[in-house]
Structure 1
Amino acid sequence: MIRTARATDIPALHAMIRDLAAYEKALDEVRVTEEQLHTALFGPRPAAFAHLAEDDTTGEPVGFALWFLNFSTWRGVHGIYLEDLYVRPEARGGGHGKALLRELARTCVERGYQRLEWSVLDWNEPSIRFYESLGARPQDEWTVYRLTDGALAELGAR
């Protein structure tokens, strides 16, 4: 079952974010707190959204999709940028990841959004194969750039 996240899901969501970071060998980079997640998802001006996959038997959260809106200047409409998709290892293969992506695709179609985009680490072959099996195609002509920490502060201070 896929459903929109609720405020009571914050602890489980936070734990799965940490699990995802550990899988991606970047746990030391996780700084988000439960309070920050609550504000981002449920504050006065939510900037992000989340869906949870629940175990069919126990109802426990086994995966999540956290996303936000982007905008295509070429198409003139919003799209969804999927920041993170994660399914706990013991629940993989049960269709939860596909169901989460299906829900986001459905949201795009219903709202007239024309893109559903995300990034995947180049070494994550199981995820790449999964995404391509759904019809997703890599955007190889683009290179992602990022400013963080000191470089961001330095540029912002100029």
Structure 2
Amino acid sequence: MAGHGVLMIFSTLISGVLLWIKLLGGWEVRPGRIVRFDIPGTEEGWARAHTGPVLNGVMVIAVAWVMPFTGLKEKLANRLGWIVVLDGWSNVLFYFFGNLTKSRALSFGSNRHGKTNIFGVLGLGPAYFFGVLAAIALPIIGWNAIKNANSTTTEGPISDPPATRLSGLP
């Protein structure tokens, strides 16, 4: 699960290159020689795509770290873990696809920012769906971690890491 979070953070490097291209107006092939071309999106949109996925990655890494301390049954823990992972990835896609549509992937139809296209739907659809599921999953994970921590006599998760991880977690 944590590996997914790291890859989400890695996606910010890719969007950082795209931000660089957008700001520069092309690609510098050697000092002073820029091959000029434009990519879709705005400077602000690529800046968001360069920073937003970091927090999604951190969310997934944090949940991966906490999950073994929830005391949840393995099947439920696996299901909730996948919801969080898919929420993280759907938000990464939201940031990228938001640059490929005038609507910024903020609505399924056109909005005040402009007309939508397939990228608007692909950006918003999964983020909306998994966002709703994550709004259910995260409190379950958090409350169970608190409840389980309060019912144990160990020193806590930092000084007492789990010996094994749940086998089905992503």
TM-score (ref. length: structure 2): 0.24
TM-score (ref. length: structure 1): 0.25
